[in-house]
Structure formats: C-alpha cells, structure tokens
Amino acid sequence: MMLRATRHKYSSVVFQAVLFMAAFMAISAYQARNLLAADHEMAPPLRAATLRGDDFDLSEFRGTPVLIYFFAPWCAVCSASADNIVRLRRLRSEERLAIIVVALDWQQRDQILEYANKHDLNVPVVMGTGEIARDWKVHGFPTYYVLDSEHRVIRRDFGYSTQLGLLWRSWLAD
C-alpha cells in the first residue's frame, strides 16, 4: 500500500512539472509570435551610435555568433536580467560570442548611462532608435536574438532569462 501511495505522489509531481513546462512553453511562444522568425533568415542591419559615441555596425562582427539584448532603461525585468548578461560575458569570450545590448524607448542619454553604470555593463551599449525597434520587431522588453556566425536568426526570446538560459541560447550559435 505504501509503495502505491509513493508512486501516485511521484507521478503527480511529474505530471504537474510537465504541465507547468507545457504552459511555460506555450506562453513563451505566444509572447514571441511577433518577433523576427528564428528560421535562419538574415538579421536586419544594425547601425547606430554607441553610448561612448562610437559608430556601431553589426556587420563588423560577421564570422562571430552574436547575442543581441534589447532593453529599455525603465524596464524592471531588464534590470533583473542585466546581471545575467554581465556574467555571460565572463563565461563566453568575445571571440566565441559577441554580446550587444541595444537601448530602446529612452528619452535622454543619461538614462542609458545610469542603467549601464548601475549594472556594470561590460559589453557594447548601442543607442537604439524607433527604426531599429521596427526593423528588429521589438515590441516589449527585454527581447533577445541569437545570431549564428553568418548573422542568421537562430533563436529569439522575450522576457526574463536566467544566466543558464542565456548560456544555453548562446551555445546554439556555436
């Protein structure tokens, strides 16, 4: 009798875990439905000034996989996941993965500077525009794209991502 109760409890926990994962995946797919397709199509161009005032051109990273993180400086979820971007940079060398963060929906440069300093961002910070948001189909924050070394979109996601989640996504680009 005890064995039957233990099996029932175990199967109930497994069923609930599977149900949770299915719901999570369905919600994630729904949220990402309007993003660029992750079907190995070429990513749009990305050219703008950086927070430091340099010119940025994504094409200069051709030959290197890229993780692009779109954020808004006022976004609480972006703030919660920013440290994961910083730690990912420590885990993945620049030669193996370029990590670019793009600020969108900002009013003043100081907002982005404050955000970058608060989170000790150790990656290029690009000053995004409405045109960039439209080209990349960014409708919410944070939005992530992973590009292969030819800059084809192989992964896209919306919302918070753990350090492990970012690491796993970036390995897909290798």
Per-residue pLDDT of 54-63, as tens digits, reads 999 999 999 9
Residue 42 in domain: yes
Residue 111 in domain: yes
Q: How many domains would you assign to the chain? A: 1
Reported as a pLDDT band with limits 50, 70 and 90, residue 28 is low
Which range marks the domain in which residue 137 is found? Answer: 32-172
Residue 25 in domain: no
Residue 7 in domain: no
- In angstroms, the CA 174 to CA 172 distance is 6
Lookup result for tokens 């808004």 = 72
Residue 36 in domain: yes
pTM of the model: 0.84
Angle (CA) 48-59-88 rounded to 5° is 85
Of the candidates 169, 10, 151, 157, the residue with the CA atom closest to the CA atom of residue 70: 157
